[in-house]
Amino acid sequence: MLKNKTVILGVTGSIAAYKIVNLSSMLVKLNCEVHVVMTKNALNFINPITFETITKNKCLVDTFDRDFEFDVKHISLAKKADIILVAPASANIIGKVANGIADDMLSTTIMASKAITVFSPAMNTNMYENAIVQDNIKKLTDYGYKFIEPASGFLACGDKGKGKLPSEELLVSYIIKEIALEKDLVGKKVLITAGATRESLDPVRFITNHSSGKMGFSLAKMAKLRGPRFYL
């Protein structure tokens, strides 16, 4: 479904970084090209070799790394990307991008890209609800960046509340929604009916069929990816 698509995964310093290993694997199985860009703080939680083994691409950390074919990596990757997903997105990376700071590989790649860029915040509840973080999120949203709402639950620090990274399945579905198909039905209205039909013969008898509605829902699922207003 994602063949010939390029996904950049930005990984920051959060315990939730381990989930991105499975996310990378799921995306590779969908036949897209996956590149991982890590912040230096992310190295405290996961080894780049893990991502390199799965994606078959060098995991980038250092903006001035000389161990690659000569090109300006944060520029070449930025041009290549169909989507950038920053997950887990720390308060730090959100604040950097919101205020135009580009001092590492991930922030410079984001700044240089015109691709769809999505942040999936993961942090302590109090950090996420901090007015400064919320202002930065609003600022980025106003600039056209997108956000995936964090999940609520038991956090690694022991607190309970909003701040968990959503499931890998949800992150994959978001990527599919954004880039799997061209949005050639934007502005159109689509109506799909699904399920069995029933036609009365008289007050007692009727004619029906065994339709499960699966085909209708499959059509709806694919149509929704093309961007129309939708009715089911």
Going by pLDDT thresholds of 50, 70 and 90, the confidence category of residue 205 is: very high
Domain of 102 in residue numbering reads as: 6-179
Report the CATH number that the domain containing residue 60 is assigned in CATH. Answer: 3.40.50.1950
Listed as own residue / partner, the contacts of 169-173 with beta carbons closer than 8 Å and 24 or more positions apart are 169/26, 171/23, 171/85, 171/87, 171/120, 172/23, 172/26, 172/27, 172/30
Beta strands 206-208; 229-231: pairing state: unpaired
Task: Please check whether residues 168 and 210 belong to one and the same domain.
Answer: no
Which residues, 6+ apart, have CB-to-CB distance to 122 below 8 Å?
14, 16, 87, 88, 89, 90, 150, 163, 164, 165
Whether 142 is in a domain gets the answer yes
Q: Are 24 and 51 in contact (CB under 8 A)?
A: yes
In terms of phi and psi (left: phi > 0; alpha: psi -120 to 50; beta: otherwise), the region of 80 is: alpha
Same domain, 138 and 225: no
pLDDT, mean over the chain: 89
pTM: 0.81
pLDDT in tens, 15-54: 999 999 999 999 999 999 999 999 999 999 999 999 999 9
Per DSSP, the three-state class of 21 is helix
DSSP strand pairing (151-154 vs 116-121): unpaired
State whether 21 and 115 are in the same domain.
Answer: yes
- Assigned token pair, 186: 């934007």
pLDDT at 218: 83
* Model pLDDT, residue 113: 93
Active-site annotation holder among 75, 156, 157, 186: 157
Same domain, 139 and 193: no
Residues 211 and 155 in one domain: no
Residue 184 counted as domain residue: no
Distance CA 232, CA 216 (A): 9
Give the model confidence (pLDDT) of 90-103 as tens digits: 999 999 999 999 99
Catalytic-residue membership of 157 = yes
Helices (H) and strands (E) in the chain, counts: 9, 11
- Determine what percent of the chain is predicted with pLDDT higher than 70: 94
- Residues 166 and 201 placed together within one structural domain of the fold: no
Confidence of residue 107 (pLDDT cuts 50, 70, 90): very high
Q: Are residues 39 and 119 in the same domain?
A: yes
Question: Do both 201 and 168 map to the same domain?
Answer: no
Paired tokens of 198: 């029933």
Banded pLDDT at 230 (limits 50, 70, 90): low
pLDDT over threshold 70, residue 66? no
Smallest Cα–Cα separation from 115: which of 223, 224, 10?
10
Decide if pLDDT at 68 tops 60: no
Q: Position 149: which residue type?
A: E
Q: Are residues 221 and 159 in the same domain?
A: no
Tell me if residue 185 falls in helix, strand or coil: coil
pLDDT tens digits along 132-176: 999 999 999 999 999 999 998 877 777 787 889 999 999 999 999
Is 134 contained in some domain?
A: yes
Do 43 and 73 belong to one domain?
yes
Number of domains in the chain: 2
Average pLDDT over residues 187-202: 86
**Rounded CA separation 9/55 (Å):** 11
